[in-house]
Structure 1
Amino acid sequence: MPINETLSQYSNWLYTTTVAIYVIALMLTLVEQGFGAKGRQAAERSKQRVRELVGAGGPVTTETPAEPEPPREVGRPERVGRMGAALLVLGALLQLSAIVLRGLATHRAPWGNMYEYGMAVTFITVVAWLVVTWKFPVRHLTPFLLLPVVILMFVNGTMLYTVAAPVQPALQSYWLVIHVAAAIIGSGVFLVPGVASVLYLFRSAHDRDPAKFARFAPKLPAADVLDRIAYRTTIFAFPVFTFGVLCGAVWAESAWGRFWGWDPKETVAFIAWVVYAAYLHSRATAGWRGTRAAVINIVGFAATIFNLFFVNLVTVGLHSYAGVS
């Protein structure tokens, strides 16, 4: 069937609008991060801990419970942060519309090339973060998640943009829907624990030495909150990603006559899988928590980003037909 150029153009406009809305949401949520009550309260608790350390002459093992604070009125930074969160939801809806219109324009699953794949991955990341902010009081951390999303979307829309067109014969399979959709969900969610683990390192370093990152880390949530976010989102994403890898092997056997061929994208995906498996295994058996677990998670995050863009832009392999040209 011919490509519907009108729907394709609408999809492009919605994508551009989404990026603009995310940038505005980023700026609004930065106000809450910098001046909101959650950041102030976290900083006050950090200063209290410094005073305890100084007064005791060294590390303390227990902390005196803080007096319950009276209810605070919602200040201007919080109202601005709510506006940013509302814009984030609006941007996610527009991005979903852009994905759907791309699919309607091409009459296929809308992830047949790297541009469409990146659009879907960043959408899943935003949705995953919205769920996290619903479960945890960490809305003021939204800028740290939105910044990489905006960067990825900008790179995706400029360097990786591909005109709407039918996919090559090798991709005309129902496995395109199953395998790639699982990879999109897994990769998109993996970005959340990656960011949470990076923030964990800043916070834990400050907890060990209050002089480190004294202007930034005190406004972050407690280290155990960031650790729980990273662990729970990884637990969700890992089985989905595993399913995607297995489906890819089945599709490879059907299309190329072998389950595995050490293609660059296959290899990096396998490395990322091993890293995340090591992260979950170490948490479950060796009791590794804290800094060591966060470092492993960040390595997996780096491998995911590397596989998402660098492999397709630089290397040449059987996955190079994914629309980067």
Structure 2
Amino acid sequence: MPVDPLLSEYSDLLFKGALTVYVLAMAFYAVEYVSSRTRVREAAVEAAHEPAAVGARGTGSADLGVVSEENADVPPPPPAKASRPSRSRADRFGRMGVSLTVLAVLLHLGSIVLRGLATTRWPLGNMYEFTSAVCLAAMVAWLVVLQRTAKRTRGLRKLGVFLLAPVLILMFLAGTVLYAQAAPVVPALRSYWLAVHVTTVTLASGLFFVPGVASILYLMKRSGKPAGFTAKLPEADVLDRLAYRVTVVAFPMYTFAVIAGAIWAEAAWGRFWGWDPKETVAFVAWVIYAAYLHARATAGWRHVGAAWINILGLAAIIFNLFFINMVVAGLHSYAGLG
């Protein structure tokens, strides 16, 4: 199939645009984090602005229930309307960061869609496309987390700066070292299993970035070091729950991806499993995340120990994405797929 160079160029432009907007969003998240108060200071400010108790309001006769002749026919003044509290500087920057993240996600999605239209195939045929899609999955997962916890968890939005840091590094590598011109895939990849297997691997890998970052910050919050940095993080139990709940969603997807990969391997190579380096590390990552979920239900492991296992799982995902694809030779090397 011929490649449409115009759509391919537009795809690259949207990718660069998304990268630029992500950088701006990270800057706004960083300003929010730096300028935000700690939880102790926030509680003190809220307590200082609470209205006085009803019994302590004024000392006039009207407050005591005594009506004099002068005010007998005068209606009581209407209750003052509560003024809407003005948003802090940190809150304004955080909201702008979320808005920029939404814009960047739309540009990012447009880049992937145009790459697929330009090549008339599923746009997950090389390392550039796969890495870009993993980053998109991570950011969409982050926006979903923000939407679902907006009214229940305070301060979670400040984690955006820490999640965007690895995403921007991966996108920079994708746009430079891993970049590949739009082109058809090799005949071995012209299968509907490309859309099934690689897409689920992409989604699960992107989702794993959120709990991985949350577990790192959880351990830092537990240790309290550095004090000035960790004081502004959400509570440790909030970070711990975030890591667990996202992993619970991502793990079944990753399990399905491994099974789908085995079925595709049987159709393409005549065996379900051959301990290819890519298959082996994918299985190791699956075992690590299974161990994490088990640790969460085991006394003495469900917090700090489980967090370390979760971080190890993210390291295995990244190792499988880059080192196995780019250094170790195997049956998956021809495509550079994840």
Instruction: Indicate the TM-score class for this superposition, using the shorter chain for normalisation.
Output: 0.7 to 0.9
Alignment correspondent of 1:10: 10
Does the 8 Å contact 1:43/1:219 carry over to 2?
no
User: Per the alignment, in what secondary structure is the counterpart of residue 254 of structure 1?
Assistant: helix
TM-score by structure 2 length?
A: 0.84
TM-score, normalised by the number of residues in structure 1: 0.88
Please give the per-residue CA displacement for 1:48-81, whole angstroms capped at 9, x wherever unaligned: 9xxxxxxxxxxxxxxxxx9697585312222122
Contact 1:8 1:101 in 2 (8 A): yes
Paired residue for 1:53? none
Secondary structure, counterpart of 1:219 in structure 2: coil
- Structure 2 unmatched ranges of 5 or more: 51-83
Change over 3 Å in CA distance of 1:246–1:228 after alignment to 2: same
* Match status 1:249 vs 2:267: no
**Which moves more between the two structures, 282-291 or 4-13?**
282-291
1:215 counterpart SS class: helix
SS in 1 for 2:38: helix
Deviates more, 1:238-247 or 1:287-296: 287-296
After superposition, what is the alpha-carbon deviation per residue over 1:147-167, rounded to whole angstroms, capped at 9, x for unaligned?
A: 110001001111111111111
Q: 2: distance between equivalents of 1:289 and 1:87?
A: 36
> Which residue does the alignment assign to 2:109?
96
Quote the Cα distance in structure 2 between the aligned partners of 1:323 and 1:12: 19
What residue in structure 2 maps to residue 266 of structure 1?
A: 279
2:245 is aligned, of 228, 232, 240, to: 232
What is the CA distance between 1:287 and its match in structure 2? 6.4
The letter for the 1-side match of 2:242 is I
Aligned mates of 1:42, 1:216 — CA distance in 2 = 13
CA distance in 2, matches of 1:115, 1:69: 53
Q: How does 1:48-59 map to 2 (within 5 A)?
A: none
Cα offset, 1:304, TM superposition: 0.7
More helix by share: 1
Superposition deviation, residue 265 in structure 1: 1.2
Alpha-carbon separation, structure 2, partners of 1:45 and 1:10: 46
Tell me the number of residue pairs that the alignment of Structure 1 and Structure 2 aligns: 298
1:146-199 residue CA offsets vs partner (Å, 9 max, x unmatched)? 011000100111111111111111101010000001100100000000000000
Q: Distance in 1 between matches of 2:146 and 2:49?
A: 22
Residue 134 (1) aligns with residue 147 (2): yes
Structure 2 CA distance, aligned partners of 1:69 and 1:276?
46
Structure with greater Cα Rg:
2
Percent identical among aligned pairs is 57
Number of the residue aligned with 1:222: 235
Give the corresponding residue for 1:42. Answer: 39
Relative to structure 1, the CA distance from residue 214 to residue 7 in structure 2 (aligned partners, 3 Å threshold; closer, same or farther) is: same
1:91-130 correspondence runs (5 A): 91-130=104-143
Q: Deviations over 1:183-216 (max 9, x none)?
A: 001000000000000000000111xxxxx31111
| Alignment-mate amino acid for residue 115 of structure 2 | R
